[in-house]
């Protein structure tokens, strides 16, 4: 498909290749920068293997409120972690040459993609975590919390930057010339191109598209170089041409946009290699990349509780016991493990179309052949009591979601999660594994739970979960976000005066890996 589009582009009057982008952004990334760089490189290879040259990644939002539906796209509530994680950019684009000029985009050939730092700026700070809403903060707060990762991204040669749907103190970012042109282009000396979000200029007005000629004028004059116009693109091109003819938009603004877009295309080598390299296809879903994903899972899992008392740890679990119970909505569901932006925009709610290992399958592969694994998504109390289980693994969490559909006011796990924890953990020793894009409310159940693991969105590689649960590898992960007791406390971030979390930012218990054979 991409090649067909490209051939159409190349057969046009000027023969300029087009650049095609995709949302290759995933996971809750509480991991180290080196690992993230390797993930970036693997992502670049897989994106290029499908003929696409441009990834709308990384999301460098600083999520200040987990009620936000895009919180799982953010690395942390702490800008220092988000800044460190911009190391995914050289993974996606390639290592910046030593002699490169600051702010000039860099993409190292046809196994790499153009990256996109997003969403400029303040998208993670909206009031009450409402997606696309208003970030109310003074300039110093914006600069100190939401801006720093953009300094790092520009310094690392990021090719493009996407503007946020959100507003800053009531002004839509898509119309904010002071920040897009004044700060990003003039002050930070960013030389790549600025792209709008999906129908982003339409949303300058409320309701969207209410005054389209104003939206085009405001967006282009703010400094946006490329518009994401998924429908009715002729409306945009006609309106833009008309405004240039009438000198509403000066030709110098068009020249700036064209120069920036061409600069990225030249740097990428698109003129030399416009078509897909079919030899890269074997990288798609390769075992090497799956192993990398599995490593990312085990390093990002956070052990939040381990035993009713410190001297009675439950984890690592024993592989060789007579019988264990696996229960819960998320124990055998790849769609749930992956979350949004998977197969479909809002994710899927089953195992179809995803090649991978569920947590249940991983448990069955990991335990001793003599251990009986009994699985029931929602067992009743009688079933639990009438079977002599050594322990139980309860896997619960959220439905998949993306963007506004993920906005929530309650941050609760889906039913029958709460009653399931009560039934199972009330009758047998249990470890609860939470599959979610963010901290969710767990405080009411803590006294019943023996061990608690935040697994985030482990994606296709469920064995990364069992790697640490059963002690083949240690638990090392720490919370990149504050875990609240209740939603009434939100927003609550590390450093706040009223800071009283269930688990603080940076918390995470560690374990020693098991050595030798269990008897």
Q: Are 345 and 395 in contact (CB under 8 A)?
A: no
d(CA 401, CA 68): 11
- For residue 369, the SS3 value is coil
Distances (CA, A) of 198 to 369, 377, 403: 51, 38, 12
197 is annotated as an active-site residue: yes
- Please pick, among 403, 450, 461, 467, the residue that the annotation labels catalytic: 403
DSSP string, 127-159: GGG-TT-EE---HHHIIIIISHHHHHHHHTT-S
398 is a catalytic site residue: no
Catalytic residue among 78, 123, 197, 467: 197
CA distances from 189 to 85, 158, 173 (A): 21, 12, 19
CA distance 139 to 375: 53
CB atoms within 10 A of CB 391: 19
- 418 three-class SS: helix
User: Which among 245, 223, 191, 240 has a CA at the least distance from the CA of 121?
Assistant: 223
Nearest-angstrom CA–CA distance, 259 and 415: 53
Query: What's the full length of the chain, in residues?
Result: 519
b/e per residue 162-181 (b: at least 16 CB within 10 A): bbbbbbbeeebbbbbbebbb
- Distance between CA atoms of residues 519 and 516, nearest Å: 9
Largest CA distance in the chain: 83
Query: What's the first-to-final CA gap in the chain, in angstroms?
Result: 56
Residues with catalytic function: 197, 403
């Amino acid at each position: 498909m991409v090649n067909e589009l490209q051939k159409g582009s190349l057969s046009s009057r000027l023969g300029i290749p087009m650049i095609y982008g995709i949302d290759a952004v995933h996971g809750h990334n509480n991991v180290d920068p080196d690992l993230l760089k390797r993930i970036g490189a693997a992502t670049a290879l897989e994106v290029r293997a499908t003929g696409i040259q441009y990834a709308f990644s990384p999301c460098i939002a600083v999520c200040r409120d987990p009620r936000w539906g895009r919180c799982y796209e953010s690395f942390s509530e702490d800008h220092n972690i988000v800044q460190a994680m911009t190391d995914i950019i050289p993974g996606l684009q390639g290592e910046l040459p030593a002699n490169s000029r600051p702010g000039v985009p860099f993409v190292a050939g046809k196994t790499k993609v153009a990256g996109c730092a997003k969403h400029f700026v303040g998208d993670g700070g909206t009031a009450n975590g409402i997606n696309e809403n208003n970030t109310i903060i003074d300039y110093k707060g914006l600069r100190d919390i939401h801006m720093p990762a953009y300094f790092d991204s520009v310094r690392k040669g990021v090719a493009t930057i996407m503007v946020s749907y959100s507003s800053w103190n009531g002004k839509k970012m898509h119309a904010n010339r002071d920040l897009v042109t004044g700060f990003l282009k003039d002050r930070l000396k960013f030389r790549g191109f600025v792209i709008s979000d999906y129908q982003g200029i339409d949303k300058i007005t409320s309701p969207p598209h209410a005054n389209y000629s104003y939206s085009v004028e405001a967006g282009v004059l703010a400094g946006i170089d490329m518009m994401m116009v998924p429908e009715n693109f002729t409306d945009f091109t006609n309106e833009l041409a008309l405004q240039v003819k009438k000198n509403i938009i000066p030709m110098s603004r068009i020249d700036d946009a064209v120069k920036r877009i061409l600069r990225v295309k030249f740097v990428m080598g698109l003129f030399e290699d416009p078509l897909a390299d079919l030899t890269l296809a074997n990288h798609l879903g390769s075992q090497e990349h799956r192993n990398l994903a599995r490593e990312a899972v085990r390093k990002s899992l956070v052990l939040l509780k381990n035993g009713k008392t410190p001297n009675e740890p439950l984890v690592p679990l024993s592989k060789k016991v007579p019988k264990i119970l696996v229960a819960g909505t998320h124990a055998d569901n790849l769609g749930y493990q992956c979350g949004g932006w998977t197969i479909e925009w809002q994710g899927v709610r089953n195992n179809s179309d995803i090649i991978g290992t569920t947590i249940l399958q991983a448990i069955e592969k990991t335990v001793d052949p003599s251990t009986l694994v009994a699985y029931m998504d929602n067992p009743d109390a009688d079933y639990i009591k009438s079977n002599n289980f050594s322990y139980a693994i309860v896997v619960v969490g959220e439905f998949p979601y993306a963007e506004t559909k993920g906005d929530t006011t309650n941050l609760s796990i889906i039913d029958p999660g709460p009653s399931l924890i009560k039934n199972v953990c009330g009758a047998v020793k249990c470890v609860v594994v939470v599959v979610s894009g963010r901290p969710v409310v767990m405080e009411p159940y803590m006294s019943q739970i023996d061990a608690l693991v935040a697994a985030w969105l482990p994606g296709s590689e469920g064995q990364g979960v069992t790697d640490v649960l059963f002690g083949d590898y240690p638990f090392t992960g720490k919370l990149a976000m504050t875990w609240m007791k209740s939603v009434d406390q939100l927003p609550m971030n590390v450093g706040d005066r009223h800071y009283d979390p269930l688990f603080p930012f940076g918390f995470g218990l560690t374990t020693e890996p098991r050595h030798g054979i269990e008897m």
